[in-house]
Amino acid sequence: MASSKTASFFHRRERNIYCLKNIPELDHDHPALRKVETINHIVCDD
């Protein structure tokens, strides 16, 4: 059996709710473009 260190994945990123860097229809300071951090812990073990 693999250990959780070798059978897991950690993914961290910053993005806005649209996951796009620029939305031409929105002002650059629109609240929807505020970046938030998302973190995923994925465990792959059988």
What was the pLDDT predicted at 5?
56
CA distance 45 to 14: 27
Q: How many CA atoms lie within 13 A of 29 on its CB side?
A: 0
CA distance 14 to 2: 30
What was the pLDDT predicted at 39?
92
With beta carbons less than 8 A apart as the criterion, state whether 46 and 18 touch.
Answer: no
CA distance 18 to 41: 21
First CA to last CA distance, the chain = 8
Q: Which pLDDT tens digit goes with each residue over 1-46?
A: 555 556 788 889 999 988 888 889 999 899 988 999 999 988 886 6
